[in-house]
Copies of this chain bind each other. A is one copy, B any other.
Amino acid sequence: MRAEIISVGTELLLGHTVNADAAHVARELSALGVDLLQVQTLGDNGPRLEAALREALGRAEVVITTGGLGPTDDDLTKETVARVANVPLEEDADSLARLREYFGSRPMSSNQRKQALLPLGATAFPNAVGTAPGCAVPVGAKGWVLMLPGPPSELLPMLRQSVVPFLADKGGAVIASFMVRSFGLGEGAAALRIAELTDKANPTAATYAGDCEMFVRVTAKAPDVDAARALALPVVEEVRRRLGSVVYGVNVESLEAVVVAELIRQGKTVATAESCTGGLLAKRITDRPGASQIFGYGLVTYANAAKMRLLGVPEDMLRVHGAVSPEVARCMAQQARREYGADFGLGITGVAGPDGGTPAKPAGLVYVALSDAQHVWLRVMRPQGRYLGRERTRRLASSHALDMLRRCLAGLPVEDDWALENNGTAIG
């Protein structure tokens, strides 16, 4: 099956917004074994969109549009697709019921109601988050146009809940897909370790550089689920073996999801003490539903006074070593645990930058510490060559904290093995 993506929105052509939707859709198509020929990005321009749709339908069986489904006048994807499919727009009862439910007791304007209009014969894709439903519209003998909303928070759930099953059903074959997720290995190093595995046609294996992380997706195609899984699983195991203990999970949502689930499983708790990450670590832990079982206290000690008052970091230590030091990081981790009655304490202190760095303590230098009742472990993030920027520095520091806790919970070395794994890579 061949597909094309058409992303609609003048904001994309003005460069206000990066087209992340196209990447999200592309990733799912690739996992389904659908061949994506090209992506087009157009403004809110009916005639141009119509021409692009007709051309794309000449090359591909499935054309997926993103954007232009909202309530305003410049949202014209549905009207244009209906014209190409040569069908009228009709109010979809289910979509209208969902809109009514969304608005509750508040009034719904006529342009909001317009969102329940779908091309006649379309299969609606409910919007779990926002107002505009998506849909699949048959065009001609065997073509389909799938329309998805532009905001990623609406597109992503619809993609997983509606689009992937819809396309899998059309494609005939079934796909089994496994995402092996790791932290602490650069994409280049990972690619070298699994080199021959990525040359195969079925199952396929491909590396993805994530948000300071590295993923390998293994996808197998077969007539049924069991056969697809049986094809994929030996390769998944081989990827795990070659990457080693940097792998934190397969088909898991995130590093924090794994850490929170394991803390719950072991009946252990954690307290956090953050300086330069300013609450990001606590935020990532509490991103997980059920975090209250393992997390009660998070201290954002941005000021030195806060480190002294909330954590009892000695004034002398701050004066002699400075707030950004291994000593203070260790003390923060220990005191978070001791003072707030947790099994583990995590401490982070560093220079997030871009300002505030010195030659001895440059922007990007961060100390991350983990403490349990017996030990304190430390990692240092030292900017090598280039400073990553404030956002990535903070993100990476919080990931190191989570990874240290993950390794500790799994009985893996927390400091040394990590350094070994990362020899020669970009992280750290």
Interface residues, chain A, with chain B CB atoms under 8 Å away: 10-20, 22-30, 36-44, 48, 52, 70-74, 100-107, 109, 111-112, 128-129, 131, 151, 153, 177, 179, 187-189, 191-192, 198, 206-209, 211, 217, 219, 272, 274, 276-283, 285-287, 289-292, 295-303, 305-306, 310, 340, 352-356, 384-386, 388-392, 394, 424-426
Contacts and interface: CB of A to CB of B under 8 A. Distances in A.
A30 B14 contact: yes
A392 B12 contact: no
Nearest to A286: B278
B15 A426 contact: no
18 contacts: A10-B206, A13-B37, A15-B27, A16-B27, A16-B179, A16-B207, A17-B208, A18-B18, A38-B41, A38-B42, A38-B43, A73-B191, A74-B206, A111-B191, A131-B426, A286-B352, A295-B302, A297-B310
Which one of A177, A385, A426 has the highest number of Cβ atoms from chain B below 10 Å of its Cβ? A385
A303 B296 contact: yes
B16 A24 contact: no
A37 to B, nearest CB: 7
Given A103-B384, A109-B192, A153-B391, A289 B354 contact: yes
B27 A14 contact: yes
Given A15-B27, A38-B48, A390 B289 contact: yes
Contacts of A18: 18-20, 22-23
Contact of A14 (B192, B217, B274, B385): B217
A353 B292 CA distance: 12
A40 B37 contact: no
Contacts of A188: 71-72, 109, 111-112
Given A301-B297, A385-B104, A23 B30 contact: no
A16 B291 contact: no
A52 B55 CA distance: 12
Q: Which 10 residue pairs of A and B lie closest in terms of their CB atoms, listed nearest first?
A: A278-B286, A298-B300, A15-B27, A279-B282, A296-B303, A15-B26, A279-B279, A104-B385, A39-B41, A279-B283
A392 B287 CA distance: 11
